[in-house]
Chains A and B, each alone.
Chain A
Amino acid sequence: DSGVTQTPKHLITATGQRVTLRCSPRSGDLSVYWYQQSLDQGLQFLIQYYNGEERAKGNILERFSAQQFPDLHSELNLSSLELGDSALYFCASSVYSGLSSYNEQFFGPGTRLTVL
Chain B
Amino acid sequence: TQLLEQSPQFLSIQEGENLTVYCNSSSVFSSLQWYRQEPGEGPVLLVTVVTGGEVKKLKRLTFQFGDARKDSSLHITAAQPGDTGLYLCAGAGTNFGNEKLTFGTGTRLTIIP
- Chain A's closest residue to B69 (CB) is A101
Range of interface residues on A (Cβ < 8 Å):
20 to 34
A107 contacts B105, C-beta separation under 8 Å:
no
Expressed in whole angstroms, the Cα–Cα distance for A106 and B42 within the complex equals 9
Chain B residues, Cβ within 8 Å of A88: 40
- Per DSSP, chain A at the interface is strand
Partner of A110 from the list B30, B41, B97 (CB cut-off 8 Å) is B41
Cβ contacts under 8 Å, A106 to chain B: 45
A71: Cβ under 8 A from any B Cβ: no
A99: min CB distance to chain B, Å: 10
> Per-residue 0/1 for A89-116: is the Cβ within 8 Å of any B Cβ (1 yes, 0 no)?
0101010101001111111111010000
Instruction: Check: A48 CB closer than 8 A to any chain B CB.
Output: yes
Counting contact residues on chain B (CB < 8 A from A), the size range is 20 to 34
Interface string of A44-56 (1 = CB under 8 A from B): 1100100000011
- Chain B nearest CB: distance from A58 CB in Å? 6
**Of A42, A55, A98, A110, the contact of B42 (CB 8 Å cutoff):** A110
Interface residues of A (CB under 8 A from B): 2, 4, 31, 33, 35, 42-45, 48, 55-56, 58, 88, 90, 92, 94, 96, 98, 101-110, 112
11 additional contacts (CB under 8 A) given A58-B100, A90-B42, A109-B42:
A42-B106, A43-B43, A43-B90, A43-B101, A94-B99, A103-B92, A105-B45, A105-B90, A105-B101, A110-B41, A112-B40
B interface with A by C-beta (< 8 Å): 30-31, 33, 35, 40-45, 48, 50, 88, 90, 92, 94, 96-103, 105-106
